[in-house]
Structure 1
Amino acid sequence: MTEDAPHPHSETAIVIGAGLGGLSAAMRLGAKGYRVTLIDRLDRAGGRGSSLTRNGHRFDLGPTIVTVPQVFEQLWAECGRDFHTDVDLRPMDPYYEIRWDDGSRFAVRQNEEAMLAEVARLSPRDVPGYRKFLIDSERRYQFGFEGLGRRPMNRLMDLIREIPGFVRYRADKSVYAHAAARVKDPRLRMALSFHPLFIGGDPLHVTSMYILVSYLEKEFGVHYAMGGVQAMADAMVRVIQDQGGTVRLGEEIDEILVENGRATGIRTHDGEILRAGIVVSNADPGHTYDRLLRNHRKRRWTPARLNRARWSMGLFVWYFGTRGTAGKWSDVGHHTILNSPRYKGLLHDIFMKRHLAQDMSIYLHRPSVTDPSCAPEGDDTFYALSPVPNLHGAGSVDWAEQAESYRQNMAQVLEDKLLPGFADRLSASEVFTPDTFQARYLSPHGAGFSLEPRIFQSAWFRPHNISEEVDNLYLVGAGTHPGAGIPSVVTSSEVLSQLVPDAPRSMSATETKVAAE
């Protein structure tokens, strides 16, 4: 082989992790001409978006809503496919209902007039402020999501160019502070500021850029994929396989191989070595740098740096099914958010004190009202999620001791506030705690969403999509730029696609002979 001849593995790519970031990265690399091998330790694709089945109930384990379906449409189009042929996406109306301890409710919908009527019903004096908040949200969407969120942020100059926008849009203020400046009713302040919890952030401290979610929901809607996010992940696997890629499940990566400062492949826990032209990690950046690159000296993402980082909160999730309840509790829809009597105090307990409070806020997912396939006929499938402290540092919650009592507490709240009599009809039950997230997803400190998206852990400050530590290594997923949440995770692969060149063209037998001579 001559000096200029292509490397024997230059057309191959290995993707570590079959979460939505890894799946979308594999699709985009396949569209660029790479022969892709995607490897995941779980038995189903989807990562946090995978599912499990108990007694006929299919439980979506993680994300339950799809916003900005355009990112999927674009992804499929880049692969020469039609997203809506492969995935049945249904719009939600209302998106979700928020309930407070005083009995008041707030239904979130796409129609602006309906939303203004909801605001007026709760607090007429806040209608003008709500209108201003929507304008604020759109401006930050254009700057934060369509602007810097869809571009690489791996060079310091990428950040410097955006500083005027951060100043103009007061990125130093928190989401809650911005909402509080626009509306006075404490319920509306909560309703306009809680969204960072869906990506692992504390509304009292996360940058106000994340109010963009309100516009994102209003403009593009909130959707449910029939069959759950698992069905979307399975559809992505089919695209990868149709491209000629390979998906290997139930296999764990032990190490990323590095030679002369360059990633050259991986070694599995079984000792198999695979070589590749490029390596992409959809594992959490903390796991990637601390474990998969444990034998490589780091300059930026050292163990000490990762230990000092602020990680997102943990999650307590109770998946349960009920017998003969289809049509029961008719006022409980697909998505319900049930608030603790405390908002700011509970957030402080979770993120700052790292204290497991007795009160809780609950997001209740009831997909069986939309998708009967997730439960046996006549039954219901639910999951109830509560934000809790992560496992970082000394004195973290002992979930082996606390899990069952916390579940019983959650059951009592649901019994009293939403689902009277449900506990007598349980037909399936499974609990995930931060311990589960740490063990199942290799999530550092059991964090639900990797690094918390504070201002100095976002954009350039977040782990880059092209590794700062090793050449030829790329990162996608919730822990890297632009962050957590389905649209951002898929967009991370869009950024990756801008950084990775097209695969070298395969040489014919004649060209290979000429090159060798």
Structure 2
Amino acid sequence: MLTQGQSLSHVTAGDPRPQALVIGSGFGGLAAAVRLGARGYRVTVLEKLDAPGGRAYVHKQDGFTFDAGPTVITAPFLFEELWALCGKKLADDVDLRPVAPFYRVRFDDGTVFDYSGDAEAMRAEVAKLSPGDVAGYERFLAASEAIYKVGFEQLGHVSFERWTDMAKVLPDLLKLEGYRTVYGLASKHVKDEKLRVVLTFQSLLVGGNPFSTTSVYCLIAFLERRFGVHFAMGGTGALVRGLVGLIEGQGGRVLCGQGVEEILVDEGAACGVRLQTGQQLRADVVVSNADSAWTYKHLLPGRLRRRWTDKRIAKARYSMSLFVWYFGTRRQYRDVAHHTISLGPRYEGLLDDIFTNKHLADDFSLYLHRPTATDPSLAPPGCDTFYVLAPVPHLDAGVDWALRAEPYRAAIAKRLSETLLPGLEQEVVSSLMLTPQDFQDRLSSYKGAAFALEPVLTQSAWFRPHNRSEEVERLYLVGAGTHPGAGLPGVLSSARVLDSIVPHARDLPRPHQPLAEEGFAHVRTA
């Protein structure tokens, strides 16, 4: 893996394979690179940060290892498929461990619900919370399975390139009540308000408000039940390192410290990129794992865009952002689960403030991640590693995070000290924050939205930016902002879509000479 300052202008001697450039090294970009490499391309991944991973960047500080982003790993078969494409086994490189319970949900009044994949244990938890809702819970889970079989198994890796593709699935979506919201479908089956929260908070993990997100995302409940929730020993970064190893094993290259300034186009086709250094790199195929709105607004000139104009991008609805506090403690909190959802006094009202009113409220609900519950090596001996995130409005809220970040962090610390982590404020020995402003400035997320476009029905499938760009040929999109959407299964599935829309390297029309050779650097990838 090359880092900033190392030369890019080397020729790959004797390598006749077509060149594919991938912008961004998030999970979508790394998965796309593996799939393109398996289909005969010479692949170069360009990452503007100093290490790969994108939102899955790893921070190491004071002896603690902090996974910056994705920590809930479901559908491990999507990773196994990538390793299989390289003739390897995931287990040879990454040790995935099941997490139980999946989530410990703590309500504001102290009520606790352990959400797991154990059918009997779940029925007991539901009965403890609301005895009259056990049968309704079973009906909800059956509905989730039916949605999963259509929404994930049949459509998750299909490219919605024509409106007729959407029309074909509308009868199924109507039959499965895809017109309902996540909360609406749960409310159809269960009456208890707390249980409705337990069955709907997962949509927030993919950037969706359960009161407006299409009920298609209720498939998450069955997905988790079927495949479990896992954690990679060594942290989520172990998966990033494993994928980089696969790419390099294919003769590809991951280049860090190489931000892309513009996607170059010749005669209506993407033909390379210009880096922020001014250097131009040539390609036969370009794949953007950057945020889709950012890709179109900042990387593709406006004169080339007919559908994703600046006006349309600005008018679209975007997910919430996140405030994330990473911290290490000098002591361990052994009774805290790996994943805890700590709910505040409001549910719908808080979500209205975040998604609709764009108001940073004084109260909050939190996701607390304690990876040392599964892997103690992520902290010094006798210590714990944590991160806590709070859903917050994206940058349209006008919050000055340079001023508000520390008071907001202190309020969260006080809340955790009063509930889950007694004495926390005196135990913290390492601290780091990520704000919505960082999502925009560091991670190139439009408006600082943590999950790209909001997953409402009118921004799903065909209505999302397509995996094959509608604007120029030979440009493809992967990641949270395209189909099927956010979350690890979503971004990995977006890379699966490429198998059906990017020609195999042997079938790519050659030679492709988009630009003159002068001033144009070839990238050494082997």
Smaller-chain TM-score bracket: over 0.9
Which of 25, 45, 52 in structure 2 is aligned with 1:18?
Answer: 25
Q: Secondary structure at the match of 1:150?
A: coil
1:354 has 2:325 as partner = no
Between the aligned partners of 1:344 and 1:246, the Cα distance in structure 2 is 46
Deviation at 1:302, TM superposition (A): 0.5
In the alignment, which residue of structure 1 is the partner of 2:241?
A: 234
1:344 has 2:351 as partner = no
Q: Letter of the aligned partner of 1:350 in structure 2?
A: I
1:364 has 2:371 as partner = no
Q: Secondary structure at the match of 1:227?
A: coil
Alignment RMSD? 1.4
In the alignment, which residue of structure 2 is the partner of 1:59?
A: 66
In the alignment, which residue of structure 2 is the partner of 1:420?
A: 422
| 8 A contact 1:437–1:448 mirrored in 2 | yes
1:383 has 2:390 as partner = no
Q: 1:3-42 alignment to 2 at 5 Å?
A: 11-42=18-49
In the alignment, which residue of structure 2 is the partner of 1:288?
A: 295
Between the aligned partners of 2:20 and 2:373, the Cα distance in structure 1 is 41
Q: Letter of the aligned partner of 2:140 in structure 1?
A: F
In structure 2, relative to structure 1, the CA distance for the partners of 1:425 and 1:15 (3 Å cut) is same
Between the aligned partners of 1:413 and 1:350, the Cα distance in structure 2 is 19
| 8 A contact 2:127–2:133 mirrored in 1 | yes
1:497 has 2:499 as partner = yes
Q: Letter of the aligned partner of 1:136 in structure 2?
A: A
Deviation at 1:9, TM superposition (A): 8.0
Which of 213, 238, 249 in structure 2 is aligned with 1:206?
Answer: 213
Between the aligned partners of 1:481 and 1:447, the Cα distance in structure 2 is 17
Between the aligned partners of 1:228 and 1:186, the Cα distance in structure 2 is 34
Cα deviation digits, residues 380-426 of structure 1 (max 9, x gap): 1100000000013xx52111121111111101110001101121111
Which of 239, 256, 265 in structure 2 is aligned with 1:258?
Answer: 265
How many residue pairs align between the two structures? 495
Cα deviation digits, residues 344-369 of structure 1 (max 9, x gap): 11011100101111110000000112
Deviation at 1:504, TM superposition (A): 2.3
Q: Letter of the aligned partner of 1:474 in structure 2?
A: Y
In the alignment, which residue of structure 2 is the partner of 1:334?
A: 338
| 8 A contact 1:41–1:251 mirrored in 2 | yes
| 8 A contact 2:17–2:42 mirrored in 1 | no
Q: 1:123-162 alignment to 2 at 5 Å?
A: 123-162=130-169
Deviation at 1:83, TM superposition (A): 1.1
In the alignment, which residue of structure 2 is the partner of 1:401?
A: 403
Between the aligned partners of 1:103 and 1:65, the Cα distance in structure 2 is 24
1:80 has 2:87 as partner = yes
Between the aligned partners of 1:471 and 1:489, the Cα distance in structure 2 is 22
| 8 A contact 1:10–1:276 mirrored in 2 | no
User: TM-score, length-normalised on structure 2?
Assistant: 0.92
| 8 A contact 2:322–2:389 mirrored in 1 | yes
In the alignment, which residue of structure 1 is the partner of 2:450?
A: 448
Deviation at 1:342, TM superposition (A): 0.6
In the alignment, which residue of structure 2 is the partner of 1:435?
A: 437
Deviation at 1:297, TM superposition (A): 2.5
| 8 A contact 1:9–1:277 mirrored in 2 | no
Between the aligned partners of 1:58 and 1:20, the Cα distance in structure 2 is 19
| 8 A contact 2:318–2:452 mirrored in 1 | yes
In the alignment, which residue of structure 1 is the partner of 2:477?
A: 475
| 8 A contact 1:9–1:275 mirrored in 2 | no
In the alignment, which residue of structure 1 is the partner of 2:53?
A: 46
Deviation at 1:76, TM superposition (A): 1.4
The sequence identity of aligned pairs, in percent, is 52
In structure 2, relative to structure 1, the CA distance for the partners of 1:501 and 1:369 (3 Å cut) is same
Q: Letter of the aligned partner of 1:348 in structure 2?
A: D
Give the stretch that moved more between structures: 73-82 or 458-467. 73-82
Between the aligned partners of 2:277 and 2:66, the Cα distance in structure 1 is 30
In the alignment, which residue of structure 2 is the partner of 1:488?
A: 490
| 8 A contact 2:17–2:40 mirrored in 1 | no
Deviation at 1:112, TM superposition (A): 0.4
| 8 A contact 1:180–1:189 mirrored in 2 | yes
In the alignment, which residue of structure 1 is the partner of 2:252?
A: 245
Runs of 4+ in 1 over 6 A off after TM superposition: none
Deviation at 1:96, TM superposition (A): 1.2
Between the aligned partners of 2:302 and 2:182, the Cα distance in structure 1 is 40
1:112 has 2:124 as partner = no
In the alignment, which residue of structure 2 is the partner of 1:4?
A: none
Q: Letter of the aligned partner of 1:396 in structure 2?
A: G
Q: Letter of the aligned partner of 1:460 in structure 2?
A: W
Between the aligned partners of 1:505 and 1:401, the Cα distance in structure 2 is 55
